[in-house]
Amino acid sequence: MELFRIKKDIPFMRHALVFNIISLVTFLLAVFFLATRGLHLSVEFTGGTLVEVQYEQTADLEKVRAALGKAGYSDFAVQNFGSSRDVLIRMPLKNSEGQAAAEQGTARQGEQVMAALEAEAPGAQLRRVEFVGPQVGKELAENGAMALMLVIVGIMVYLAFRFEWRFSVSAIIANLHDVIIILGFFAFFQWEFSLSVLAAVLAVLGYSVNESVVVFDRVRETFKKVRGMNTPQVLDHAITSTISRTVITHGSTQIMVLSMLLFGGETLHYFSMALTIGICFGIYSSVLVASPLVMWLGVSREQFVKPPKAKDPNVTEDGACV
Amino acid sequence: MNRYPLWKYITVAVALLIGFVYTLPNFFGEAPAVQVSSNRATLKVDAGVLPRVEAILQEAQVAPDGIFVESNGIKVRLKDTDTQLKAKDALEKAFNPDPANADYVVALNLLTASPKWLTDMGALPMYLGLDLRGGVHFLLQVDMPGAQQKRLDSIGADLRTLLRDKNLRHAGINRDGERILINFRDGQTRDQARIVIDKDLAELNLVEQGSGDNLRLVATLKPESLVKLREYAIKQNINTLHNRINELGVAEPVIAQQGADRIVVQLPGVQDTAKAKDILGRTATLEIRMVDETPGALEGALAGQVPFGTELYNERGGAPVLVKKQVVLTGERLTDAQAGFDSQNNEPAVHLTLDSAGARIFRDVTRDNVGKRMAILLIEKGKGEVVTAPVIRTEIGGGRVQISGRMTTSEANDTALLLRAGSLAAPMEIIEERTIGPSLGAESIKRGFDSTLWGFVAIAVFMIIYYQVFGMVSVVALASNLLLLVALLSLLQATLTLPGIAAIALTLGMAIDANVLINERVREELRNGMPPQAAITAGYERAFDTILDSNITTLIAGLALLIFGSGPVRGFAVVHCLGILTSIFSAVVISRSLVNLIYGRQKKLTKVSIGQVWKPEADTTK
């Protein structure tokens, strides 16, 4: 069986502008939704209390809300979690004007909620309580940003060392815009952005850079081996000859992610969701966005074939790019 | 031509064998167990206690599945949960006849059910995180500014005493945030005071300020003593937490420092957060009182007639003591307690250090009560206990107190620990809490396992259909990747969480990339008309650079998560990074050695089974 029977190189580069405009529009939409709707951050980042309970039968959310309202809570969210029997209750941190005993108070919310439920909507079994104080949330957000920075810088340095600065710049641009698009989806649908989603986003960033690496590897090889092709042709050839591998690999990874989406339950739901979006846009951007960017940044054969030095002043003579 | 030297095959075989052995314990599951450990520093639960445990179990007609002596106590493995409870009750009753004054911790636990020879090799099942096994997790923040202020307040009191003793008149000593301001009316007094303070309170940094008759010294803690103060506060809080948590009867509690001023407490299996929090947040106080030694009073009290103004307490170790209600000193006056030795007769002793106000009171009290006994009480949750009740031999001034006589070294250590635990060095606040019910944990394991299993099966089916024998090789390589990864996680005893399981699945999904790269490359070389043997060699060699590149970029992301991640992200990152490393080995070395085994020996290989290799020429009409 051979899925891809491609006779000639597909002229991807002819449509380079179209691909880039599509991705620019998606990108701008993502930024727009991020700016207007914002991310629905999980308790881990905002601080607050999260209580998950399970009922024997289908849970009556109205009753749960009434019970909490009676217990004196106002700003809470009650929703089903995974099944109709599981209920998730989210409560924000009490601000300083709230109770005097705010510190101990917030940490004890879990028990108070259980007591309130026991009185009004009995039969609840405690599954999980998470309480995160304000200082922890802030730190997590900061650390997340630091991790993202480190990934970007690390990958850029590595690609610049292995290939050339043009490749590293275009790979990072292409893949960063993936990150923004994933976030855009989370903002648009108001899916919960938690720590594990952040992990998924960063993992996908490292993963879809792979794609660019594979294509760039081919570009370099083709430049060295085949003469008489201009730059767009070389890129077309590189993409065409790797496309089968691209689709199969991403397909396999997606099978795994799909399996997590189907069997992983609610906890892994958004994690695999982020991965799915990341994988789909990762293929698109690292192949069809990164390659035109490389072209426009002016990649050419001279940068890879050694002897005629100093033709292009932009090229450094380090042996690393060979 | 595609042959590996023998040593490479052996390396692969050994790696797989080791992987298999260390993965094995995960299949045996866990068996219920009861763990007996000590609640006292003075009591050791070691091989010496073993016969006693055996005898108790025999008497209760419980047949243990195995008894293990470990550094943290004795663990008894049992057949099922019924016998587990029976054994626990029997052991609890025998070891702790008085539940209010428990010397031992008897807790339910789980032990690996793998055979002894595996355990002896250090092969243990993966260490499950709290989200998979259920339990409570707390992150506590130690209030360092609070500790610092407390210290400065007590230094302020010391300064007043010091200057009064030296007859130096000051115009007021106040604490202002993290500084102490000492006011003076004239420069000469200030200079003298400065010399005195420099000599006696070396931990202070002094700066002169002001002019005319409004002079002052600004004292701040030196950076090094600040560091010492912080370290001490954390250490003392951890000690105290250890003592308190022992009371909960948790089999394997984790109490560890995180960052500069935080403490993580993890209590697997504990569901009662209310009680756990109660015990963690409990404040113990230390009180020094006099013992009532009126003849006959103690006997009367024991008979139920407690004299007015006294209370009956038990001394640690047993004997009842009648103690006066009037408090001589509280724990706040105690700045340190260390175990050591008597300088004269080298007997083990506990050295106490009191602050200046405490020292003055102590001197007065001891002067008036030579020959009498004083009691040091630890009061927790309204329940008091006499830690020690020494006889006052002579008047003690200077704030350095030594308790000695009839003590072993470990008793001295224990007493010092208790005295220090008398008050937490700095208040703590719970800033993060997670409680995970056991049913949720079990469900998470099942879900994670299912996702990995079905994902793996789907990939395997596809690979075998698409690449045939090479697909089979890839699947074996992927399976060995899983084997090695699980073995590595078991060997390192890294904590496996639900995101960690997700990372296993994701790593497998990503690892197949390398094999796809290789297989596609081999096909391409075949398409270009290369003979099969050469195509295999070229395919593996050319794909290797790409595999390395792509894995390194993934690894960069993984490392960033490892460095900056905390909690769930960290669990994900550890598995992800390890998975990338094992996947390079399995995709390149293991799959190559399999291909070499299958095809390498055939000299005249004309066809390899890698699915249909489609050639453009065959289709086109040239």
- Residue B50 falls inside a structural domain: yes
> String of b and e for B565-603 (b: at least 16 CB within 10 Å)?
bbbbbbbbbbbbbbbbbbbbbbbbbbbbbbbbebbbeee
pLDDT at residue A275, as a whole number: 93
- Residue A156 falls inside a structural domain: yes
The nearest alpha carbon in chain B to A258 belongs to: B455
pLDDT at residue A322, as a whole number: 38
Domain closes at, from A74, A108, A132: A132
Q: How close, in Å, is residue B110 to chain A by CA atoms?
A: 21
Q: How close, in Å, is residue A163 to chain B by CA atoms?
A: 10
Mean pLDDT within A259-265? 90
Same domain, A175 and A310: yes
The nearest alpha carbon in chain A to B511 belongs to: A253
Domain closes at, from B188, B223, B258: B223
pLDDT at residue A28, as a whole number: 93
Same domain, B543 and B450: yes
Cα–Cα distances in Å, from B609 out to A141, A298, B466, B471, B526?
51, 42, 10, 9, 11
Same domain, A31 and A168: yes
Lowest mean pLDDT among A219-223, B27-31, B32-36, B412-416: B412-416
| Of A33, A282, A21, A275, the residue nearest A174 (C-alpha) | A282
H/E element, A42: none
Same domain, B485 and B341: no
Does B73 have pLDDT greater than 90? Answer: no
Amino acid (1-letter code) at residue A6: I
- Residue B248 falls inside a structural domain: no
Same domain, A110 and A243: no
Same domain, B414 and B487: no
Banded model confidence at residue A99, pLDDT cuts 50, 70, 90 = very low
Same domain, A105 and A192: no
Contacts of A175 in chain B (CB under 8 A): none
Lowest mean pLDDT among A20-34, A132-146, B246-260, B608-622: B608-622
Mean pLDDT within A23-41? 91
- Residue B228 falls inside a structural domain: no
Judge: B433–A129 Cβ closer than 8 Å, yes or no. Answer: yes
Does B55 have pLDDT greater than 60? Answer: yes
pLDDT at residue A315, as a whole number: 46
| Of B444, B440, B502, B514, the residue nearest B474 (C-alpha) | B514
Same domain, A182 and A288: yes
Domain interval for residue B594: 6-23+438-619
Same domain, A211 and A315: yes
Same domain, B69 and B217: no
Banded model confidence at residue A310, pLDDT cuts 50, 70, 90 = very low
Q: Is A242 helix (H, G, I), strand (E, B) or coil?
A: helix
Same domain, B18 and B55: no
How many structural domains is chain B composed of?
Answer: 4
Contacts of A255 in chain B (CB under 8 A): 455, 458-459, 462, 509
Banded model confidence at residue A2, pLDDT cuts 50, 70, 90 = low
C-alpha Rg value of chain A to the nearest Å: 25
The nearest alpha carbon in chain B to A7 belongs to: B616
- Residue A37 falls inside a structural domain: yes
Domain closes at, from B181, B201, B223: B223
Same domain, B537 and B592: yes
**Sign of torsion over alpha carbons A83, A86, A89, A90:** negative
Please measure the distance between the N-terminal and C-terminal CA atoms of chain A and give it in whole angstroms: 36
Contacts of B428 in chain A (CB under 8 A): none
Q: How close, in Å, is residue A181 to chain B by CA atoms?
A: 18
Contacts of A206 in chain B (CB under 8 A): 553-558
**Strand locations in B259-408 (E):** 262-268, 284-291, 310-314, 320-330, 334-341, 348-354, 374-380, 383-388, 400-404
Domain closes at, from A116, A132, A148: A132
Distance CA B386, CA B101 (A): 12
Domain closes at, from B369, B389, B423: B423
pTM over 0.90: no
Query: Would you give the distance in Å from CA A139 to the centre of its chain?
Result: 20
- Residue A97 falls inside a structural domain: yes
The nearest alpha carbon in chain B to A262 belongs to: B451
Question: Tell me, what CATH number does A187's domain have?
Answer: 1.20.1640.10
The nearest alpha carbon in chain B to A214 belongs to: B546
Same domain, A33 and A148: yes
Same domain, B12 and B64: no
pLDDT digits (tens, 9 = 90+) for A124-143: 777 888 888 777 778 888 88
Judge: B444–A7 Cβ closer than 8 Å, yes or no. Answer: no
| DSSP for residue B343 | T
Q: How close, in Å, is residue B500 to chain A by CA atoms?
A: 10
Distance CA B78, CA B33 (A): 5
Same domain, A73 and A22: no
| Of B397, B415, B395, the residue nearest B405 (C-alpha) | B415
H/E element, B211: strand B204-211
pLDDT at residue B486, as a whole number: 94
| Of A105, A125, A106, the residue nearest A117 (C-alpha) | A125
Same domain, A204 and A308: yes
Same domain, B389 and B458: no
Say yes or no: ipTM exceeds 0.95. Answer: no
Q: How close, in Å, is residue A77 to chain B by CA atoms?
A: 19
Distance CA A46, CA B341 (A): 53
Chosen from A46, A50, A263 to mutate, greatest number of chain B CBs within 10 A: A263
- Residue B72 falls inside a structural domain: yes
Question: Tell me, what CATH number does B551's domain have?
Answer: 1.20.1640.10
Domain interval for residue A173: 12-41+137-321
Sheet with B320-330, edge to edge strand ranges: B310-314, B320-330, B284-291, B374-380, B383-388
Size of interface A-B (CB pairs under 8 A): 247
- Residue A57 falls inside a structural domain: yes
Lowest mean pLDDT among A239-243, B39-43, B425-429, B575-579: B39-43
Question: Tell me, what CATH number does B50's domain have?
Answer: 3.30.70.260
Mean pLDDT within A63-71? 81
Locate B547 and state its tokens: 């595999």
Same domain, B400 and B540: no
pLDDT digits (tens, 9 = 90+) for B533-573: 888 899 898 888 888 888 888 888 889 888 887 777 888 89
Banded model confidence at residue A319, pLDDT cuts 50, 70, 90 = very low
Does A103 have pLDDT greater than 70? Answer: no
Burial class of B299 by CB neighbour count within 10 A (0 to 12, 13 to 18, 19+): exposed
pLDDT at residue B488, as a whole number: 93
Phi, then psi, of B67 in degrees rounded to 5: -125, 130
C-alpha Rg value of chain B to the nearest Å: 34
Same domain, B598 and B481: yes
> String of b and e for A127-165 (b: at least 16 CB within 10 Å)?
bbbbbbbeebbeebeebbeebbebbbebbbebbbebbbb
Contacts of B616 in chain A (CB under 8 A): 5-7
Contact B379, B285 (CB under 8 A): yes
pLDDT at residue A34, as a whole number: 92
Mean pLDDT within B214-241? 83
Same domain, A144 and A104: no
Does B28 have pLDDT greater than 70? Answer: yes
Does B311 have pLDDT greater than 80? Answer: yes
Banded model confidence at residue A96, pLDDT cuts 50, 70, 90 = very low
Burial class of B373 by CB neighbour count within 10 A (0 to 12, 13 to 18, 19+): middle
pLDDT digits (tens, 9 = 90+) for B86-124: 888 888 888 887 766 667 878 877 788 888 788 888 888
Same domain, A144 and A165: yes
- Does B476 or B389 have the greater pLDDT score? B476
